[in-house]
Every structure is written in structure tokens, then in C-alpha cells.
Structure 1
Amino acid sequence: MKTSWTPIRHTAIVLALCGAFASAAFAGGQAAAPAKPNASADKGAATDTAPANATLRPGDDFFTWANGGWLSKTDIPADRSSWGAMASLAEETNQRIVKLIEDAGKDKGANSEARKVGDYFAAYMNEGAIEARGMAPLKPQLDRIAAIKDKPGLVRALGDSLRADVDPLNNTDFFTENVFGLWVAQGLHDTARNMPYLLQGGLGMPDRAYYLDSSERMAGLRTQYQKHIATMLKLAGYSKTENDADARAAKVFALEVDIANGHASRADSADVLKADNTWTLKDFTANAPGLDWNAFFKAAQLGDQDKFIVWHPSAMKGTAALVERIDLATWKDYLAFHRINQMAGVLPKAFVDARFDFYGKALTGTPQQSLRWKRALGATNEAMDEAVGKMYVAKYFPAENKARLQQMVANIVDAFGKRVDKLDWMAPATRAQAKEKLKTLYVGVGYPDKWKSYAALKVVPNDAFGNAVRAEQFHYKEEIAKLHHKPERTEWAMPPQLVNAVNLPLQNALNFPAAILQPPFFDPKAPDAANYGSIGAIIGHEISHSFDDQGSQFDAQGRLRDWWTKEDMEHFKAASSKLVAQYNAYKPFPDLAVNGQLTLSENLADLAGLAAAYDAYRASGGKNANAQGDQAGDRAFFIGYASSWRNKAREAAERRGILTDGHAPPQYRTATVRNLDAWYKAFDVQPGQALYLPPDQRVRVW
């Protein structure tokens, strides 16, 4: 699951990660915050739990009850669309990293990796040099687009623009401005070979719904986006007359509407079985006519590949037809706009501000752009993520923390295995396969076993634009090279400095980056109860992804295979459907409900992960843990869980998340406690309280 964290490429918006614990928290675009907003409120896993309303009971609204003090005194920083425990921790981590990077820039070893990191950051920070160069760095790229004379030239340009930055198993937000997205990973059925996956792309807004939804709000965003296209074209000199850029923008927008019409829905994108389509080169010609696929793949450096996994067949067919049908001038303007838009972060301030006006203010309701150093850090993290991570780990991740977390992981894996053993509905054959998945699970804690090399990446001081282009090309070549090597189960999908965690179904692996292994999620000084409720639930969440509605389709080797008996799968689906119904009933806004099907994978992982973490806490023998049940310890466990979800979001951002994110809003993720019997005992939750469920209505899957 490789996703983009900076405005250099396609995200001025922080992307949420399905299959991962929560939103990526690098300092890029809107992913950062002012230096010290309510910092004290995020230090401990069980602090600020006094409810704002003294009459509120845990059984009425556990999220607000547990986080009331924090909610009442916390404001969302002006440069953020949301703010919470993860964002606050990311902010503290980012400030540490910036100091490390600034020091690295003073390294006299000209070819050292640390010096490259420092030079990349410093070049991005040098706004004077960027302003002085103006459009000059981008002009050669725009000239190449302008020089396209015919459709064969267009096809070559589309192929050349392909980038590898989307993982469909860990990112339901297929937001890539390039006409298609590429993912390189182990084959769905062939575990010995890496395969190229092609996915839908080509949109400047987050999802097809933004183009096709008839609501007044979406219509307004479409109007603002079309104006944004025109603004970018005007800034780049694409305006021969007063109305020329507006007319050209209208055609570009209309093309994107046509592209969106061919896109799969969110639900279909999350269905791996619908994505299991292996095409040969002949299949592309037969199934998606209108585009010279041989020429496209050759330009994309994929000419030696004989098979592709096509995740979104309808998008391939629809976009290929548009290449043939839509006039060349419109396609050239489309390519020019998207290249300008992608590179805005390393262009003069007018471009930066114009991009933020739409992606920040209009799309997520964020009133203020993040400071330059935060965007520079996001760009540096994107370009040299593990090089930065290596510096961070050496300074801030003690060996004893890794050892303690590894023990917690072992305890929770064991607890999950014991829950599998106790399932009276699971057939022996299915149980044996489930236990094999747990036995062979790779769990990475803190940082990768093997670090990436950036020796081939050229970084030039004071050349922010050139550095961004070279980093983009470096990463693409890095991904293409995987097609000539066998898959590596221990390869990490997240760098150590990212506040997040992830399950990788094809690798049967988990990553827990070092940055999330600190307060408020893990505190070496805190009672076991609080740690198991916070980081323990995160660990359980990621383990559980191996057995959710998506992960359960992959076996111990990461092969897409049905290893369930028919009866077991029917039981699993029936239990899961109850969780879908439970979440469908939540309505954050009168006109918008949570999508229980879209969020099912995450909701299953939250529920099963919390249950396994609770069992592990009870079995650990740690402070406040005993088999008879300690109410104080149990309360601390559940409060630790709720505290990890404290979060506030602007309405525009929350609405976007409900439409496009595989995660439910935090208050409803917290509410999964209503399915655990121990929560009722810990807080004396009684019938008549809003979250109360009779025992026979509590969802029990694992």
C-alpha cells in the first residue's frame, strides 16, 4: 500500500488507508498543524476523560463520555481539516524529524544519504529560488505536450505519464490524476511472481461521485473545480483571449466527467473477486479498443510484460474509447493541466495558493494552508521515506520499545488463535487454514529488516522542481524493477516515521511503524490495561484484517483462494451483515449515513481486534490484569481504546470521508465496544441507554 503524502504528486488531501489503521499522518499538503495546539491533551492514553456534560453516561455515547474534556477544549488548527490523537502525535514526530533533517543538511559528506535528505528539504524550502525560476522548469514538459501531433503521440504521452502509487488492497481512495494507476505486487494466484496491476485513474477530484452525484453540494464543487482548472491554465499561460482558458477548462472537465462514467463504484473497487481479471496484450485490444495498448505499454516501460491484472475493466474500456473519440486538443489541455496541478508544490506561490484554494478550502473546508516547512517535510518524506525513517529510528526508537511491542504482538496473535480454537461454528479444515495464516504471519515492528538504497537518486541543492521530477522517476523505476524479481514478504509498505499501521494480504504481513509506537498509543510507563486498549487494539485490528471480508479471501501464502467451507463462509457473511446493518444505522448528518458495506473491513477489524486485545490483556498477567475481572482495569482498557479515537473534523472533510473512506468516522469506530460483553460490565451499561444492545444482538464474528 504505497500512497502519496505530498502535494507534489496527486494529494493536497491526506488519503485514508483501507486495510491500514487510520489516515496517513505525514506533514504534507494539509497533513500538518501548528506547533503546539493543545499538546498536553494528547500525551496520555487515558487523560482528559471527564465528559463535557456531567449527566452523560458511557452507555449513551462512549466516545464523547471518554473524550469529553479533550473535545470541549480542542479546536481544529486552521491548517487542518481534522485533528486528533494521530495528528497530534504526527505533529510532534514531524518536529523531531525536521530538526534531524536540518542537521543532516550540514553534513559535509556530499554523497551521504543524510546529506541528500537535507538538500532535498532545503531546496523545497528555498521559495526565493523557486520564484526566480518561475515556469521555466515546467516549460520543457509542457512543450512536449504541446508538440503532440496525433493520437499515436497522445498514446505515448499517456503511457509515459503512468505512475505507480496506488495499492487497491490498502487504499479505497483511487485518487490518481494520471489516466491509469499502476501497482506492482505479487500475483493474486501466482505467489512466485510480481505482476503489474492496472487501476482506474484520471480524475482531479477524489471519486466518481464528485462528478456524477446530483446533490447541490457536489454541483457546487464541480463548478469550483472547473474554475480551478481554468485558473491553473491561465497561470501557465494557456489563455490566448480573456475567455480562452475558461472554454478549455470546460472541455477538460467534460472529459473527466466522461472518464468518471467509466469508473467502478467504491463497493466494486473493494471487491477483490471483481478485480481478478488477468488480461494479455490481445485481451486489451479486444476488451478496450480505441487505444494502441502496445504503444502505451512500451512508453510506460511495460513492453516486456505479457500479462496484467486489470482491477477496473470498465475504466480501461471507457478511457480507451475516449482516447479515440475526444479531440486531440482537449486531451493535450487535459495533460497540461494535470501536470501543472501535480507539480504545483514546487512552482511559484501563485500555483501553490491556487491549488490550496480548491483542494484545501473548497474540498475539505480547511481555512489555512500549512506552513512551508510542513509541506517541505511531506515532500522529503515522499521522495526519501526510508532514508528519513532510518534517521528517525536511530534517534527516537529504543530497542527496549521494540522488544516490548514484539511481546505484545505475540500475546495478541496467541489470543486471536485461541479465539479461533473456540469457534463452535468453524469446521476443522477451515480452522487449520486460519491457524496456518497466524503461524506464518510476518510482523514488522518499528522499521524494515532491510533498508532501501537511494544511491541512484540524484538530489541537487536549490533545484526543488528537478528533485521532485527525479524522485518521481526514481520511484517508478524502482517499482518497475520489481517485475523482474520475486516478491519479498518482508518488504515494508510504510516508513518508520509514519503514524499508522497496515495489513498486507498478499504478503500475509503486518507493519507497525516506529512513530505510532509512542504515547498516546503506547506508553512504557502506562498500565498494561491502557496500552492493550490503545496500541493493543491497533495490533489486534491489523491481525484481524487477515480474516475480515477481504483478508479472509487470501491464504497463508497470500494467494487469492477460497479456503473456507461453504457453511463457514455463510456463517461469516451472516455475522458480517449484522455489522453492516449496525453501521448503516449511524447518521452523522441528516442527509448522509455511514456506509456499512464500504466500511465493513475496518469495522470487522476494529471489533475482532479489540476483542483479541482484551483477551491478551487478561492473559498477560500485567498490572491490573486478572482472570476474575478487575473493573478498574477493564475501564482503563476501554478508555484507552476510546482515547485513541479522539478526533474532530470539519464538516466538508467528514462528508468526503463518509463518501470515499473505508473507515467509519471515529465516534462510530469507538462505538464497537457495544458488541463486547466486558464493556457492559465495566461501565454498568443498562437497557434504555443509547448504545445498549441485548446480548443476542451483539455482533460476534471471531
Structure 2
Amino acid sequence: MKRIVYLIITVMITTSCTEKKTAQTADRLDLANLDTTVAPGESFYQYATGGWQQANPIPDEYARYGSFDKLREENQKQIQSLIEALGKEEHPTGSNAQKVGDLYRMAIDSVRLNEQAATPIRAQLEAIAAAKDKQDVIRLMAQISRYAGNPFFGFAVGPDDKNSSMNIVHLYQSGIGMGDRDYYLLDDDHSRSLREAYIRLMEKQFQNAGYDKLQAEQAALNVMQIETALAEAHITREMRRIPELNYHKMRVVELPTAVAPFDWELYFTEVGAPGLDSLNVSHPAPIKAAIEVIEREPVERLQDYLSWKVINSAAGYLSDAFVEANFEFYGKALSGSKELQPRWRRAIDAVNGALGEAVGQLYVEQYFPPQAKERMLTLVDNLSVALGERIAQLEWMSNETKAKAQEKLAAFTVKIGYPDKWKDYSTLEIRDDSYWQNMVRASEFEYAEMLRELGQPVDKSKWFMPPQTVNAYYNPSSNEICFPAGILQPPFFYMNGDDAINYGGIGVVIGHEMTHGFDDQGRKYDKEGNLSDWWTAGDAARFEERTRVLVDHFNGIRVLDTVRANGSFTLGENIADQGGLQVSYHAFMKTD
């Protein structure tokens, strides 16, 4: 389970990036980003960021906007210029340059997309319509999981939580289109309005796919009934944050009694894992409920559900009619954005998703100076020392647990900039048929790569983000922190900036990710990345007592009249935000 997070940090008082990284000049505090009309003790957030907020109102195409988003916009422009430069030259068929350039051109060709309309998904929908029995349904759900949202429940290959050096199969709850069970089950006005909007979305998209009005209305009701049944069995998002509740390793022969009777042999053959011996069933009850839905519902209703999985996954890569209907629900109703992002930005995101490291290799060559890696390594080393000193000074933690914590800190793997070995895309074809079919091939390429890892030792050199990403992560199963090249630029990182700038920016990000190794989830993994209880009972109890203060504090934050923050769900981020700031400040105070 990787931890990929959006950070809330104190870098807003630094000057925003408008220059390429090779020509950084803005390496000072920009006092215009402050709001000096507010006393720091009254509202430090407003004091530190008020000027920036006033100068940077949330654009209509965003549901939220901050330094991360602004920097992503700059990165998208840089990537656009790289891709457009590719288009000025001829590239050999099968080269990364050909694949990146052709996929981008297909993504921005609105005329062709609108002419094709629903044609790119026609064959997939026809295959679903041809299903005769439940075995056909099982085959289809397995096939669709290779390129679209997992129907009914999810299948993945990844590290064994209790033997992090080996990859195993994981089954987990999935299959709902609104993302979280609460949207289906809560009875407040907002949840009811979302359900109504979701049904309207499905009706519209089924019609866009060729259903008549009555067929579309019935299909939408069928899907809503099935997804609600799945949601009723899903565990809560708070429970999903407790690692030990999501680990149930068993033999395949135990599945009929431990989970539910099912044609498991057919299922595992179709997903590409025939002869599987053992696996982790992350969420047994939701998977049992999903199987009961498959057994209970008629084939015709299950066909509507599977068709929706294809339509909904493809919507962003089809005609304007599909894209705009998709945005009305997912962009406006569910997220709060007012306008659709420009086509070229959506195209950049898609190319990054399908060919991330191919784009990343071009990006690094143009925008990431080698010296930045050395400066970052120094910062990481200094923050590691500071965190070690803070652990040693904890009065409430026993020496036994402190020793284990220091061992884990010393064992951190640090990844900076870009991977040592680039992904090989030679078997991925980008053809001149349709945008959607190319995205299917890209998904199937990633799926095949995942299957090759089954039963193999974990490749701990693998990256979970391409280098152009403006983000960072901590991965507990490999005990690693990763800082892609995309975030290593202003306003987070200045190659020649003052220490105060860099410790207040990227230093807090580094500290944040390090702290994740010891938050309410990370603390349950040892230095090897195994789910293991290395805390004494007394220390664990004292940790829970102290973090309860954070939970209660955030539970008390009222966002809107009827909406409060969820302190339990956000606990890991809140711990990391607090820890990241304190560790970076501690490290900064040790500089000259």
C-alpha cells in the first residue's frame, strides 16, 4: 500500500515559479504573499497566505487551488512544449517519441473524437450484450478489470504485507462509481442530490452509447441497485486506514468457506493467475456481498452494470457529449469545479498516465539539473538527523521502542528525481484507431507488467510516480521516501536558495514524508516494510492517547454549517503535517 499524498505546508510565502529550473532567480521570501492586517496569533494561516490567496483566486476549472496546483500548471506547459517539439520531427514507429506524440495528437483531435462518438466502445459493449450465463459474466468482469474500473471487486498484485520482499495477489472491495459508500447510504440532502445526479449521468451516458431513453432509464436503475448493494457491504474509509484489518492471507482452496462459493478457478484463469495457491483477501465481507450480487441478479441486469463500467471508464476519452456529461457529475456535482479543464491539459494528464516514464525521461533531460539531486540529498540527510534527535528526546517513549524507531529511520530508502532504470515501453503499441483503444492498450500493458510480478521478489527500485509529478510519497511496504523531479523547483525547492526558503518549503515536504513512517499507519510497519508490531504495549497506548488530541481537534473544525472535518480519516496527514514542520524547523536551526 503506497502513501501518495497532497501536502499542506508553509511554502506559500515564497515566490511562485515562473522560470525554468535552469534559470532560477526567485529565491527570496515574497512579502506580498502575507496578510499583515491579521496578527499571526489570531490566524497564522491567513497571516502567512492571505496575500497569496487574494492574488490567486480559485480558477473555475479547479475544486481547490494551491501551490501544488499552480506548479502543476507550469509543469503541464513545460511538457506541452516538449511534446510539440516532438511533432516537428519524424520519429521511428515504435519509439517512445512516436508513442507520446501520436497519443497526444489523438487526445486533442476533437473533430475525430466527435466523429467517432461511441464507436470506440462498440465492440466491448457488444461482447457484454452477448453474455449468456453467469460464467460469461465472470469472464467479462475479469477481462474488463484489465482496462477499466474493477467490476464487483478488485484484483491486484503487490507486496505481501507480512513478507514485503514477495509479491502476491490482493482482492479488495471495489465496483462503485461514486467512490465512497457514504454517497449511496447517507440520507442528508447533499447525498440524496448526488444520487439523483448520478442516475441522470448514467441515463445520459447510456443514451450517448446508443440506448434509447427507456432502455437508458432502466439500465441506470439497474446499476444503481447493484452499486448500492455493493456499497452497503463496503467497509468505511476509516477502517481502510487500519492495516491489520485489511490483511487476511489464505489459501485459494479456503475461499469458498472463508469468503463465498464462486467459480474461483474460472475467475483466476481469466484474470491471468491460473493455478494460484494463496492470496490476501483485503476485504472478505464486501467480496462475499459482491459474489452474492452476481449469484442473485439476472444476467440482463449484470450486463447493464458491466456496460456501465466500460462506458464510465471510457467517457473521458470519447466525444464531447461523453466528456461534458462526465464533467457535470464528477467535476461539478461531486467535486465542485465550475469549468472543464482545457483539452490540452486533459491530454497532458492522459499521456502522463499512459506513458509516464517516457515523458519523464524527456522532462528530466530538459528541466532537472543533476546538482539538484545532490542538494536534496544533503537536505534529506539533515532532516534524518533532526528526526533521529527528536525521537531520542521523546520522554513518553521507552528506550526499546526508540531503538526500533531509529533502526527504521536509518533503513529509509531515498529516491530523488528519477529512476535509475527507465521503463521499457517497447511492447506497448500506440495505433491510429482511437484515443480510447490506445488507453485500453496502455492499461493492458500495465496490467501485464503487474502480472509478471506475481510470485516474484519485489523490485524495490520501482517508482510509483513518474518524475514529472508534482508530489512526493512514503511507501511503508518498502520503507522508502520519494521526491520526483517535478516537485524539486520553486516554490518548494530553490537550487541556490537560502536555507530558510528550502527548509520552509521542500524541507517540510521531506519531513512530512519521513513522519509518515511513524504515523498511525506507518508505525505498524517495520524497517523491512513488514506489517509488524514493534512497539511496546505501553508506548502504543501512549501514542494513541496523544494522537487522540489531533483527532478531536480536527473533528471540531467546522467546514460548512453541516460539514465537519473527519479527524480519524485525516489523522495520518495531520500527524505528518505537524511532524514535517517540526522536524524541518529543528534541522534548520542546526544550520549555520
Inter-partner Cα distance in structure 2 for 1:389 and 1:374 = 16
Q: Check conservation: 1:496, 1:514, Cα contact below 8 A.
A: yes
Instruction: Summarize the Cα distance change of 1:390–1:369 in structure 2 as closer, same or farther, 3 Å threshold.
Output: same
1:371 aligns with 2:371: no
Q: CA deviation at 1:280?
A: 2.1
| Aligned-partner Cα distance in 2 for 1:124–1:234 | 23
Q: Map 1:285-304 onto structure 2 (within 5 A).
A: 285-289=256-260, 291-304=262-275
- Equivalence for 2:322: 351
> Per-residue displacement from partner, 1:401-444 (whole Å, max 9, x unpaired)?
11101110010011111111222332232222111111111010
Change (3 A) 1:257 1:498: same
Offset from partner CA, 1:220-250 (integer Å, 9 cap, x none): 11001001111111111122xx423112211
Matches within 5 A, 1:373-522: 373-461=344-432, 463-522=434-493
CA–CA distance in structure 2, aligned partners of residues 48 and 483 of structure 1 = 53
What is residue 236 of structure 1 aligned with on the other side?
209
Q: Which residue of structure 1 aligns with residue 58 of structure 2?
A: 76
Residue 192, structure 1, aligned to residue 185, structure 2: no
2:309 is matched with which residue?
Answer: 338
1:21–1:542 contact (8 Å) kept in structure 2:
no
Q: Check whether the contact 1:185–1:194 (CA below 8 A) recurs between aligned residues.
A: yes
- Structure 1 residues 308 and 100, CA gap change in structure 2 (3 angstroms): same
Give the distance between the partners of 1:43 and 1:219, measured in 2 at CA: 48
> Per-residue CA shift, 1:255-302, capped at 9, x if unaligned?
111110010001111110111111322232113335322211111112
1:592 aligns with 2:563: yes
Q: Kindly state the Cα deviation for residue 19 of structure 1 after the two structures are TM-superposed.
A: 4.8
> Quick check: 1:58 aligned with 2:58?
no
Q: CA deviation at 1:463?
A: 3.1
Q: What are the within-5 Å matches in structure 2 for residues 204-353 of structure 1? A: 204-239=177-212, 242-289=213-260, 291-353=262-324
Deviations 1:474-511 (A, max 9, x none): 01111111114211222111111111000000001111
Residue from 148, 154, 169 that aligns with 1:181: 154
* Deviation, structure 1 residue 44: 6.6
Residues 458-487 of structure 1: CA distance to partner in whole angstroms, max 9, x if unpaired?
012463222111101101111111114211
2:73 is matched with 91
In the TM superposition, what is the alpha-carbon distance from 1:43 to its structure 2 partner? Answer: 6.8
Partner of 2:5: 20
Query: What TM-score does the superposition give when structure 1 sets the normalisation length?
Result: 0.79
Provide closer, same or farther for how the CA distance between residues 139 and 527 of structure 1 changes in structure 2, counting only shifts above 3 A. Answer: same
**Aligned: 1:612 with 2:574:** no
| Equivalent pairs, count | 577
- Partner residue in 1 for 2:12: none
1:202 matched residue in structure 2 = 175
2:522 to 551, 564, 588: 551
Give the aligned partner of residue 128 of structure 1: 111
Query: Deviations for 1:599-642, whole angstroms, at most 9, x for unmatched residues?
Result: 11111111112111111111122xxxxxxxxxxxxxxxxxxxxx
Helix, strand or coil at the partner of 1:148: coil
CA–CA distance in 2 between the matches of 1:510 and 1:21?
14
Shift of 1:191: 2.9
Q: Which amino acid aligns with 1:329?
A: E
CA contact (8 A) 2:27 2:498 kept: no
Conserved in 1, the CA contact under 8 Å of 2:167 and 2:454?
Answer: yes
Deviation at 1:77, TM superposition (A): 1.3
Q: Which amino acid aligns with 2:118?
A: M
- Hey, what's the Cα distance between the residues in 2 that align with 1:389 and 1:229? 36
* CA distance in 2 between partners of 1:127 and 1:291 (Å): 44
Find the residue that maps to 1:560 and give its secondary structure: coil
Q: Is the 8 A contact 1:290 1:323 kept in 2?
A: no
Contact 1:156–1:299 (CA<8 Å) still a contact in 2? yes
| One-letter identity of the residue aligned with 1:453 | D
Residues 463, 19 of structure 1: CA spacing in aligned structure 2 closer, same or farther, 3 A cutoff?
A: closer
Q: Which amino acid aligns with 1:20?
A: V
Question: For structure 2, which runs of at least 5 residues remain unmatched after alignment?
Answer: 9-16, 19-24
Instruction: Tell me, yes or no, if the aligned pair for 1:163 and 1:181 is still in contact at 8 Å.
Output: no
1:150 aligns with 2:123: no
**Distance in 2, Cα, partners of 1:368 & 1:96:** 23
Q: Is the 8 A contact 1:443 1:509 kept in 2?
A: yes
Q: Deviations over 1:302-328 (max 9, x none)?
A: 223211112212211110111101111
How many Å separate the matches in 1 of 2:543 and 2:332?
A: 42
Structure 2 CA distance for aligned equivalents of residues 344 and 496 of structure 1: 27
The answer to whether the Cα contact below 8 Å between 2:151 and 2:175 also exists between their aligned partners in 1 is yes
Q: Distance in 1 between matches of 2:336 and 2:259?
A: 38
Residue 371 of structure 1, CA deviation: 1.1
Cα contact 2:166–2:456 (8 A) shared by 1: yes
Cα offset for 1:111?
A: 2.9
Query: What letter matches 2:402 in structure 1?
Result: R
SS in 2 for 1:468: helix
User: Which of 566, 575, 589 is the equivalent residue of 2:546?
Assistant: 575
Q: Any idea what SS the aligned residue of 1:193 has?
A: strand
Distance 1:332 1:499 in 2: 39
Amino acid at match of 1:119: D
TM-score of the superposed pair, with normalisation by structure 2: 0.94
CA contact (8 A) 1:502 1:511 kept: yes
| Structure 1 counterpart SS, 2:376 | helix
Cα distance in 2 for residues equivalent to 1:287 and 1:194 = 22
Q: Which residue of 2 aligns with 1:528?
A: 499
Q: Report the Cα distance in structure 1 between the residues aligned to 2:157 and 2:28, rounded to whole angstroms.
A: 38
Cα RMSD for the two superposed structures: 2.0
Give the aligned partner of residue 626 of structure 1: none
Match of 2:30 among 25, 47, 55: 47
Deviation at 1:51, TM superposition (A): 5.0
For the 8 Å contact 2:246–2:283, the answer to whether it is kept is yes
- Once the two structures are TM-superposed, the CA of residue 134 in structure 1 deviates from its matched residue by 2.9
Pair 135,536 (structure 1): closer, same or farther in 2 beyond 3 Å: same
Give aligned-pair identity as a percent: 36
Counterpart CA distance in 1 for 2:520 and 2:320 is 45
- Is the 2:376–2:416 Cα contact (8 Å) retained in structure 1? yes
**Match of 1:687?**
none
Asked whether the equivalents of residues 35 and 48 of structure 2 are also in contact (C-alpha less than 8 Å), the reply is no
Matched residue SS, 2:334: helix
1:117 is matched with which residue?
100
Is 1:103 aligned with 2:85? yes
